[in-house]
Amino acid sequence: MSLVTDTFEQIFSQEMYLSILQVWPEGQIIDVEDGRLAGVLLSMRRSATQGRILVMAVEPQRRGSGIGSALLRAFLQQCAREGLMSVVLEVRVSNQRAREFYRRHGFREEGHLAKYYPDDEDATVMTRNVV
Ligand SMILES: CC(C)(COP(=O)(O)OP(=O)(O)OC[C@H]1O[C@@H](n2cnc3c(N)ncnc32)[C@H](O)[C@@H]1OP(=O)(O)O)[C@@H](O)C(=O)NCCC(=O)NCCS
């Protein structure tokens, strides 16, 4: 919770964490380095065929060292094991580095959601096939 909160200055309720863990524990991926949580990918199943990444965060001092890519690969493998066909996510239009990160991992920008975030910033919708 603190990694996500510190990264996004946005607080999800404890109930939300418990609920996604209960509904789809295999879709919640963490990376632990030296006994410390270094990265997290939280997700949900949007339908029988589509997964949705809710949030990805890597500890600031460990960014750029491959942890995010490893989390994403593990998540896509889990989606494939469960027969999901595609993955969708929303990202702030201003978050160029994350958009580039997802593009490099095969996501395409497919849409735009106006005033999606609480501060009225727009979101870019990105998707990719699982395999
Ligand atoms: C986006 C994020 C999860 C990627 O994880 P990561 O461990 O840094 O990713 P990797 O090391 O596998 O890949 C690095 C690439 O990610 C991109 N990236 C995005 N934000 C970055 C950051 N703050 N620092 C370093 N690289 C970043 C870069 O394009 C980088 O490519 P480069 O190495 O050629 O410069 C991570 O940087 C992060 O937590 N960012 C802040 C939160 C965020 O924007 N989340 C995504 C929206 S939900």
- Is the model's pLDDT at 2 over the cut of 90? no
Residue 62 CA to ligand 1 center (angstroms) comes to: 9
Collapsing DSSP states into helix, strand and coil, what is residue 34?
coil
Q: Is the pLDDT of residue 10 over 90?
A: no
Which of 6, 44, 58 to mutate to test ligand 1, by most ligand atoms within 8 A of the CB atom?
58
How many angstroms is it from 47 CA to the middle of ligand 1?
A: 27
Confirm whether pTM is higher than 0.75: yes
Confidence label for 5 from pLDDT (cuts 50, 70 and 90): confident
Q: Write the residue with the smallest CA distance to atom 23 of ligand 1.
A: 63
CB atoms within 10 A of CB 79: 23
| 2-129 is classed CATH 3.30.565.10 | no
Q: How confident is the model at residue 4 (pLDDT cuts 50, 70, 90)?
A: confident
Q: Determine the straight-line distance between the first and last CA of the chain, rounded to whole angstroms.
A: 30
Query: What's the CA-to-centroid distance between 63 and ligand 1, angstroms?
Result: 6
Distances (CA, A) of 120 to 2, 52, 93, 116: 24, 21, 11, 6
Q: How many whole angstroms separate alpha carbon 39 and alpha carbon 3?
A: 8
**Residue 22 binned pLDDT confidence (cut-offs 50, 70, 90):** very high
